[in-house]
Amino acid sequence: MSSQTSISTEQVAHLANLARMTLTDDELTRYADQLDHILHAVARVGEVAADEVPAMSHPQPMVNVWREDVVTPGLSAEDVLAGAPAAEDERFRVPRILDGE
Amino acid sequence: MTTTDTTLTFDDAIAAYDPLLGFEVHVELSTNSKMFCGCPTEFGAAPNTQVCPTCVGLPGSMPVVNRTAVESTIKIGLALNCEIASWCRFARKNYFYPDMPKDYQISQYDEPLCSDGYLDVDVVDADGNHQNVRVEIERVHMEEDTGKLLHTGGDTGRIHGADYSLVDYNRAGVPLIEIVTKPVPGTGALAPEVGRAYVQALREVVKSLGVSDVRMEQGSLRCDANISLMPKGSPVWGTRTETKNVNSFRSVERALRSEIIRQSNVLSSGGTVVQETRHFQETTGDTTSGRVKSDAEDYRYFPEPDLIPIAPEKQWVDELRAGLPEAPGLRIARLQQEWDLSDFDMQSVVNAGALELVVATIEAGADHSAARKWWLGELTRIANSQGTSLAELAITPAQVARLAELVDSGTLNDKLARKVIEGVLAGEGEPDAVIESRGLAVVSDDGPLLAAIDEAVAANPDVVGRITGGKPQAAGVIVGAVMKATRGQADAGRVRELLFEKLGVTPE
Ligand SMILES: [Zn+2]
């Protein structure tokens, strides 16, 4: 794997947009540089991983951990809404989703 | 651009363009508990009463896979002739929308549990000929359903113009299966019918497996229909739109039809079809523009770190395969042959919602023609007049089988049998009990019949003369008089026999 990873300020701006973050131009440049360093560091792992080492998404070599289809007690509406910033009619109240288009 | 409104009709559109179809169907599984937690899944509970830390995404909670949901998905995959993955993972689909409290949905991305299957559907073309269309299945994967939003303020309860929204997470985390087809080419003018037939056939398959109640009106089966048009003979696919909110079989057909007409008019007037989500409008039968697909739809899928892979053992998959019920399409074809019915008669049974009832009545001992006769005749009439369905009538296949047996043995005639049905439906008990309490059995002792025949003969000397003079068909008058005298409880065939015996006439 080559270590030519480099990340542009446009990519950082895209990620910031997806994460609903507003970043200044200075921040975009700074984070692009920082992310670049991180990606390079991670890419070095690829240099030592031989072909017979498969990529993994979980450190445990396990499969099929599951539960039987049985109902277990949950939370009451009162409890689940207790931590909500706003609630109405036993429902979570969330701000307007789309700005007037 | 030379726009001249809607000028192309459906037929014009099909003459100029080839439609390419695709379907994404979501099926909510009817497990007891949710996909990744033990919350119940019942439809219609009070808001936010079927929730726990996991399905509302509280910090520190961890998902655990529901084994039955995996099993149900494998069954669906097998019934759709799919390959079952020997190893696959869940993935996070990241997006900001309050219907998922975690800000991501656990789904499957490039490693679906089932892939590469097909479903054969039957459509009838304009000439009345049956055509088999093979719809190839790309994948069947597992995910979790979202919560339900209620948009408040504004004028229409729609998301546009709403002041704020209210969220109920009861549905969040309910096991959801997505069934995605490969592009379906070559359907031409039959495209809308193929769409309807596909969703209908798919529903039958899933229903036969008993893994979902597949009720479109309750949202446990939801269809998104994709369609694009390409100029006839063009090797290049057109831009597709995805129509959502298609809540009935008929709507699938209508939505495809209207989208074919709309796109063909856009294209023929020199415009371009925009790749977007459209919404089907039940009232007008049209689709309206929704969300335009854009960069913002970057879900950044990655393997779900909180779940370990699913690796169904071959033995388990083999057992599930061996336990699959007969495919609904094949079963209907087999029953049609066994019962020796025309396409039309078989379709009547299916359309009346009587198939399972007729089958169960036959299993309870009736022959198929009697079973069909009662369910499609008197019982359908009653169900229609009460605005209900056959399955909801308060009479069981076993009771109908008993009724058929009593008619067969001569204990009841059809007229009395209808009275017995009336009694059973009124909650008066089993057919035998109704006969007993209402005194409905056919009079079988010849004594009272002979007396009634004597009376009728004495009262109609001219008719008797005609019968003995070589016109046995005149006997109907005497038989009618006897039936009237016995208030319909006599067996008309027996009356006729006794009459000819008495008069010494051999009919025919
Ligand atoms: Zn839960």
What gap in Å lies between CA B84 and CA B68, rounded to an integer?
Answer: 16
- How far is residue B135 from each of residues B86, B117, B197, B220, B433, measured CA to CA in Å? 24, 9, 10, 22, 52
Residue identified by tokens 């007008």 is: B284
Q: pLDDT by residue (tens digit) across A47-87?
A: 887 778 777 788 888 999 999 999 999 999 999 999 899 99
User: For position B79, what pLDDT does the model report?
Assistant: 97
DSSP state for residue B392 in the 8-state scheme: G
Of A20, A57, A92, the CB nearest to B166: A92
User: For position B293, what pLDDT does the model report?
Assistant: 62
Contact between chains at B169 and A80 (C-beta distance less than 8 A)? yes
Q: pLDDT by residue (tens digit) across A4-22?
A: 558 899 999 998 988 889 9
User: For position B129, what pLDDT does the model report?
Assistant: 83
SS3 category, B276? strand
Contact between chains at B48 and A92 (C-beta distance less than 8 A)? yes
Contact between chains at B166 and A64 (C-beta distance less than 8 A)? no
Domain ranges of chain B: 10-314, 326-438, 446-503
Contact between chains at A92 and B70 (C-beta distance less than 8 A)? no
Domains of chain A and CATH, by start: 9-48 (1.10.20)
CB B380 within 8 A of CB B354: yes
CB B442 within 8 A of CB B413: yes
Fold of B446-503: Arc Repressor Mutant, subunit A (1.10.10)
Which residues 25-44 of A are in CB contact (within 8 Å) with B?
Answer: none
User: For position B335, what pLDDT does the model report?
Assistant: 94
Given pLDDT bands bounded at 50, 70 and 90, which one contains residue A32? very high
Q: Please give chain B's pLDDT, 508 residues, in tens.
A: 444 456 899 999 999 999 999 999 999 999 999 999 999 999 889 999 999 999 999 999 999 999 999 999 999 999 999 999 999 999 999 988 899 999 999 999 999 999 999 999 989 888 888 889 999 999 999 999 999 998 887 666 666 667 889 999 999 999 999 999 999 999 999 999 999 999 999 999 999 999 999 999 888 999 999 999 999 988 888 999 999 878 899 999 999 999 999 999 999 999 999 999 999 988 888 888 887 665 556 899 999 999 999 999 999 999 999 999 998 888 999 999 999 999 889 988 988 889 999 999 999 999 999 999 999 999 999 999 999 999 899 999 999 999 999 888 878 888 889 999 999 999 999 999 999 898 887 766 777 788 888 889 999 989 988 888 888 888 888 999 988 888 888 888 888 888 888 888 876 5
Residues of A in contact with B174 (CB under 8 A): none
State how far residue B56 is from chain A, nearest Cα, in angstroms. Answer: 8
- How far is residue B171 from each of residues B68, B180, B291, measured CA to CA in Å? 18, 22, 23
